[in-house]
Structure 1
Amino acid sequence: MIVLKIQGPNHTKVNPYQQQLQKQDQVKNDSVKKADQLQISDEAKKLQEQGSPEAARKAEVAELKRAVQSGNYQVDAKQVAAKMLEFWKK
């Protein structure tokens, strides 16, 4: 009959399941200790303070819509051409 000591060098081979559980517990503890962090840049804070430009944009779109529907909307061709050139020169 062969008798092996459990406390000897073979101890790690006796219960690999227990070792796996200990590793999982350690991973869980490490993940609990870490907290999520969020950093908001100064630029984002300034944009938030200014408010949503959506309301002003909606008013502008509504005004243009009225002008187009009534036939009073006039396009300045020189201004459009200047903006196009400015865009394509970038």
Structure 2
Amino acid sequence: MKINPLKNTTFNPYQKQIQKSEDIKTNVQQPDKLEISSQAKELQKGNEIEKARQEKVEDLKQQVQDGKYNVDSQKTAEKMVDFWSNRRM
């Protein structure tokens, strides 16, 4: 049995893979892009409630650092008892 070689000497079984890799190299990928809506920008600014809360926290921090903040242990204990008794019911 005689096997005749292919007449076309330019035949390359991996031609499609080579072409794909060349296409990938030539394609320049676009950089990632991020767009923030105007509503999201408004939310990032914060609101009056958050600002007031932050001021209160800063004031409490300052009182604690100065030693002027006193905790009422009786009220704290009452709140803890209320919390745990309501939770178990």
TM-score (norm 2): 0.44
